[in-house]
Chain A
Amino acid sequence: MPIVADTILRLDGVAKRFGTFTAVHGIDLEIREGEFLTIVGPSGSGKSTLIRLLVGMDVVSAGAIWLRDKRIDAVPANKRPTCMVFQSLALFPHMTVGQNIEFPLKIRKVGPAARKARALELLDLLRLPRDFYAKRVTQCSGGERQRVALARALAFDPEILFFDEPLSALDYRLRKTLEKELKDLHTRTGKTFVYITHSLEEAMVMSDRIAIMRAGRFEQIATADEIYARPVSRFVAEFMGEVNLFAVHGPQKGGLVGKEIELHLNGEAAEIGLGLAANETATLMVRPEFVRFLTNAGTADFVVRGVIIAEYALGSRLQYEVEAASGMRLTVEKLRQDAFSGAVGDDIILGFDSVHIHMIRGE
């Protein structure tokens, strides 16, 4: 099996079945050396099962896992050079911070002096005070425990570090801080991080690449920007935050018609690559921040008419909910300084341009 030079972990048709239920359907994936890959999906999408297969806590039903040029899917968890930070952190409650961090070193028969030196180094790296060495983990706060769990995993010096939603139990502010610290730690250690979460926000802040998982399969694997701007499906588009999706179809070759949308293109849809085949259906996507309030319908490529039915304050931004004549709801977002001057109940004209839209085809 040839391995691309910079691929550290490769999945070939990895599947997991529990009785008649298939949690993971024959997944192929290549994880690159040193990247921060996040697997995102709603609960029940199979991401936790997948990570348990990758660290060796469950056995694959089919397929192969390659770590560089070694096949590891039959290797037990304690013999794999990878390691995981648990959702619960799974610190050892009967040990001190120091003993927790030194645990993997002790297994490798590292001497006591060298162990302690490494543990103190890791405390420094994780910005924990050195006197935490003798502190009991049960006396640490949530954020401190988080760092201890990370230090313990790093002490293992894994080839790949897996994370199973380790931040989900923390409060918002601490989570935001730790997201940035984790990203920073990734840069400083240069290790390969594979992170699973159900929070898209977390994924966007930290990852080099995001894999969107749904019902045991990957829907799309790409950079955050790519997935945000060019999702391959309605599911991904909706999963990646607020979005406006219009059902469109081609009445004849090269045409484009939507129930809510008026076209004000300079020329034919086909000329700017938007034309559909005859009778082809597709989804036209535009993110809320690219939708403008118009005073004159002629100043945008696409126009939708409707009524403002709600306005929400989102801190730095404002969000408007608009109902089109067809009953479809649209979301518009504006920065606070660009707030719309009208009020709820006003008839308005919305517009957006062809450079900001994305066409989801083939669904």
Chain B
Amino acid sequence: MERINRRLGLLSALPIGVLLVLSFLAPLLVVAAFSVMPQKVFSLLNMPDFSAFSVIVSQGYYRSLLWSLGLAFTATAILFVICWPLAYGMAKVFGRFSLVLTLAVVMSLFVSENIRLYGWVLTLMKGGLIDGYLGVWFGIGLPSPLYKIPVIVFGLVYVYFPFMLFPLAQGIAMVPDDARQAATDLGASRWRVLTAIDLPLAAPGILVGSLLCFVLSAGAVAESKLLGGQTVIVIADDVETAFTFGQNWPLGSALSMILIVLIGGIAVFGLSRIDLDAMMGRNR
């Protein structure tokens, strides 16, 4: 009976499986294959020469990769610090107000990321919402924060806020109240409760949130383009340029592969260290 069940299960999963392989895996394989092709070819029927990778090193494309990783790391760290108190409140303090907060944060996702970023551009630009009103009301002008590196980090923090907040709140909800109380009772200060009890027990949520934010930020392009005005070129920008203006598919593919392998490696390593089932409240 169990064997029949299993075969029926496999059979039922077949259509979606095929669809996933075709739509998800096949493009990746194509990109992987293109990454080893000679420069500027548009066919996979060439001798692989791995030249794209040497171009990446010789022409300094690794710098955009470092920018991406650096910005992603900074944004993730800031997101963690900002979201922790809020997530703590949602999980342990706010009660029904948490729902309002959740809705408010989720609503922002209903508007396209680009539109929201343009909103910030209009707000922050020279003669924009802030600068304009300051000029009219007080006769003072402020230098625009746009087109600098901090505003890119700000954009990343703003856009990926929900991706840190919700996993973190989920993680903190897993910290048993009595363990916190027992630690306090045994003499632990607030700081000690945070470091010895809260952080380790909320670790799965911290890891999921950080991974999501890091992975998404590392592949993000809109923030550096719209807010940063391409002050720095990030890896996703280079990939796009290689495929479009550059007409160099192998270079774009090679850059993509490096990003995919790096991020994939970090994600797999991170996810292997946590118990997602426990986090979702399921027993194994």
The minimal Cβ–Cβ distance linking B203 to chain A, given in whole angstroms, is: 8
Among B178, B189, B196, the residue within 8 A (CB) of A86 is B178
Q: How distant is A356 from chain B, measured CB to nearest CB, in Å?
A: 45
B179 part of interface (Cβ distance < 8 Å): yes
Residues on the B chain within 8 Å of A156, using CB: 186-187
Q: How far is the CA of A90 from the CA of B176 in the complex (A)?
A: 8
Q: Any chain A CB within 8 A of the CB of B43?
A: no
Most interface-central of A103, A108, A152 (chain B CB within 10 A): A103
Size of interface on B: residues with Cβ below 8 Å to A? 17
**In whole angstroms, what is the CA distance A152 to B185 when docked?**
11
- Tell me, in angstroms, the Cα distance from A227 to B90 when the chains sit together: 48
Q: CA of A18 to CA of B217 in the docked complex: distance in angstroms? A: 47
A307 to chain B, nearest CB (A): 52
Q: Is B28's beta carbon under 8 Å from chain A?
A: no
Determine how close the nearest CB of chain A comes to the CB of B230; give it in whole angstroms.
45
Query: Is the beta-carbon distance between A90 and B182 smaller than 8 angstroms?
Result: yes
B188 touches A57 (CB 8 A): no
A67 beta carbon closer than 8 Å to chain B: no
Looking at B182, B184, B197, the one whose CB has the most chain A CB atoms below 10 A away is B182
- Contact between A152 and B186, CB atoms less than 8 A apart: yes
Interchain CB contact under 8 A, B179 and A93: yes
Given contacts A90-B179, A92-B179, A92-B197, contact A107 B186 (CB under 8 A): yes
Q: How far is the CA of A79 from the CA of B200 in the complex (A)?
A: 24
In the complex, chain A residues whose CB is within 8 Å of the CB of B7: none
Chain B hits for A91, CB < 8 A: 179, 182
Which chain A residues border B181 with CB–CB below 8 Å? 57, 77, 86, 90
B183 CB–A CB distance under 8 Å: yes
B188 adjacent to A107 (CB under 8 Å): yes
A83 within 8 A of B: yes
B92 adjacent to chain A (CB < 8 Å):
no
Instruction: Tell me the bound Cα distance from A153 to B186 in angstroms.
Output: 8
Contact A57:B183 (CB < 8 A) given known A90-B176, A94-B200? no
A70-B189 Cα distance, complex, nearest whole Å: 21
Min CB gap A161→B, angstroms: 11
Taking CB atoms, residues of chain B closer than 8 Å to A83 are: 185-186
Kindly provide the distance from the CB of B195 to the nearest chain A CB, expressed in whole angstroms: 11
The answer to the question of A22 belonging to the interface, with a C-beta cut-off of 8 Å to chain B, is no
Of A55, A93, A103, which is within 8 A of B196 by CB? A103
Report the minimum CB–CB distance from B166 to chain A (whole Å).
22
B242 on interface, CB distance cutoff 8 Å: no
A156 to B192 Cα, complex, angstroms:
16
Q: Are B184 and A78 in contact (CB under 8 A)?
A: yes
Verify A104–B200 contact, CB threshold 8 A.
Answer: no
Residues 37-68 of chain A, each 1 if its beta carbon lies under 8 Å from chain B, else 0: 00000000000000000011100000000000
Q: Is there a chain A Cβ closer than 8 Å to B226's Cβ?
A: no
Rounded to whole Å, the gap between the CB of A351 and the closest CB of chain B is 53
Q: A57: which B residues are within 8 A, CB to CB?
A: 181, 184-185
User: Does the CB pair A90–B178 fall under 8 Å?
Assistant: yes
Check B260 for interface membership: any CB of A closer than 8 A.
Answer: no
Provided the pairs A78-B184, A88-B178, A103-B196 are in contact, do residues A93 and B201 lie with their beta carbons within 8 angstroms? yes
Which residues 58-98 of B have a CB within 8 angstroms of A? none
> What are the 7 A-B residue pairs with the smallest beta carbon separation, nearest first?
A90-B182, A90-B178, A104-B186, A107-B187, A78-B184, A94-B200, A88-B178
Q: List 20 A-B contacts (CB under 8 A).
A: A55-B185, A57-B181, A57-B185, A76-B184, A77-B184, A77-B185, A78-B187, A86-B178, A88-B178, A90-B179, A90-B181, A90-B182, A91-B182, A92-B179, A92-B197, A103-B196, A104-B186, A107-B186, A107-B189, A108-B187
- A: which residues have CB within 8 A of B? 55-57, 76-79, 83-84, 86, 88, 90-94, 103-104, 107-108, 152-153, 156
B→A interface (CB under 8 Å): 176, 178-179, 181-189, 192, 196-197, 200-201
